[in-house]
Amino acid sequence: MIGDMTARTSELDKRERERIGATIRALRLKMGWRADDFAVEVGISRPYLSNIEAGRKAATPILVANIARALNVPQVAIVRDAA
């Protein structure tokens, strides 16, 4: 029973990371940022940005704040679930 709950939580976390990563990528592209330049702007490496956008890594709250600032959007525009 606990294993099932952990698996469901893990799957939800993965979907959340993927959703947030896709939102970051879409906003970055809409604003005309190249990945290399954007990564430098927010203080992370290009591979780490790629992992976040692909949903393989989670963006920390501080990183979400830096990304929102660079994109000139409120943080909620990145983390809210549009569904």
Q: Which residues of 12-29 are buried (b: 16+ CB within 10 A; e: fewer)?
A: eeeeebebbbebbbebbe
Query: Average pLDDT, whole number, for the chain?
Result: 91
34 vs 12, more confident: 34
CATH number of the CATH domain containing 59 = 1.10.260.40
Q: What is the pLDDT of residue 18?
A: 96
pLDDT interval class at 73 (50, 70, 90): very high
Range of lowest pLDDT (6-10, 70-74, 78-82):
6-10
Count of structural domains, the chain = 1
Tell if the pTM clears 0.75, that is, is over it.
Answer: yes
Are 42 and 33 a contacting pair, CB within 8 Å?
no
Position 45, amino acid: S
Block residue for tokens 């600032």: 69
Domain that includes residue 15, residue range:
2-79
